[in-house]
Amino acid sequence: MSRTHFKNISLAFTAVALALSLTACSGSGPNAATRLVKKVTDGAEIMIKNEGNNISVTNLLLVATEDGSAVVVGTIINYSEERDALLGISVNNVAAAITGEQNLDQNKPVRFEGDVATTKAVFNGVGAKAGNNVKLSLAFARAGVVTTNVIIRDKRDDYASVTP
């Protein structure tokens, strides 16, 4: 085998090895961090599974409106046979004004905003600024209080029709 031929084969193997390692095709495989991402929205997600509770909160966020109010967006579903109730929502000890359905019956979603909304929760005139993150607390009759970090979105795209 000639020296040039051996050099070409060595370069080919090196190129294949680099291509595989740099593209991570053989590195992380099915456990790659980017492959395991499950969150598809800006909203926070909470699962409350304790003491017989089984509540799911999805796509939880706030939308800033023109008057400085913040409107809650999200869905709460109680999967437990035991009824629960949403007692309140607060940010920095400021309570939201809630209207609509607050009882959490089994498999009956409570939706904030949108075409099939059942409930409305508004923090009136709090000077909400899009892009900020705040600690939001949900108080339930049975499941207790849970707190999570939520983003404040601006009123555009999917949230363009949100009103205080």
8 Å CB contact between 70 and 128? yes
- Whether 164 is in a domain gets the answer no
Mean pLDDT score across all residues of the chain: 88
pLDDT digits (tens, 9 = 90+) for 70-83: 999 999 999 999 99
Digit-coded pLDDT (tens) for 118-157: 999 999 989 999 999 999 999 999 999 999 999 999 999 9
Find the domain containing 133 and state its range: 44-159
Domain CATH for 110: 2.60.40.1890
Q: What is the pLDDT of residues 28-81, one digit of tens each?
A: 666 665 555 555 568 999 999 999 999 999 999 999 999 999 999 999 999 999
Same domain? For 120 and 51 the reply is yes
Whole-model pTM: value is 0.76
- According to DSSP, the β-strands at 55-64 and 144-153 are parallel
94 and 119 in a common domain: yes
Are 3 and 48 found together in one domain?
no
